[in-house]
Amino acid sequence: MIKVLTKVNKSFMFNIDKKKHKRLERGVIMVKKIHIKRDFVLQYMIEHNLSLNQLAIEIGVSPATLSRVLNGERRPGQLVIGKMIQYFNKKFEDLFYYKDVDKCQ
């Protein structure tokens, strides 16, 4: 269980499974990393006629951060995950998923 505090001192809880490492052939180690369900967010933006900047401000993150998370350039951190769960009023599994990637990535 991870506790996330927002700037307005509201707190909420959500579960994040611990990363499970898998060792493959030739010493490659695979880990589970969190990714955003990009299509859900983009569809929400279309349905509510929101730009990326508007959505980022409403969620409480910078537009650059939201852009990087949506484009896969950055993994969502605990604060971003918490704010998105709170904003969309969804479960973790509705907004994010785990993907096995090489530990070096």
Per residue in 42-84, pLDDT tens?
A: 999 999 999 999 999 999 999 999 999 999 899 999 999 999 9
pLDDT of residue 70: 93
Whole-number Å distance between alpha carbons of 101 and 55: 29
pLDDT of residue 33: 86
Query: What's the burial of 84, exposed, middle or buried (CB within 10 Å: 0-12/13-18/19+)?
Result: buried
Q: Does 94 score more than 70 pLDDT?
A: yes
pLDDT of residue 31: 79
105 residue type, one letter: Q
Q: Which residue has the tokens 């479960």?
A: 91
Is this model's pTM higher than 0.75 or not?
A: no
Q: Does 11 score more than 90 pLDDT?
A: no
Closest residue by Cα to residue 35 from 70, 64, 78: 70
Q: Are 70 and 36 in contact (CB under 8 A)?
A: yes
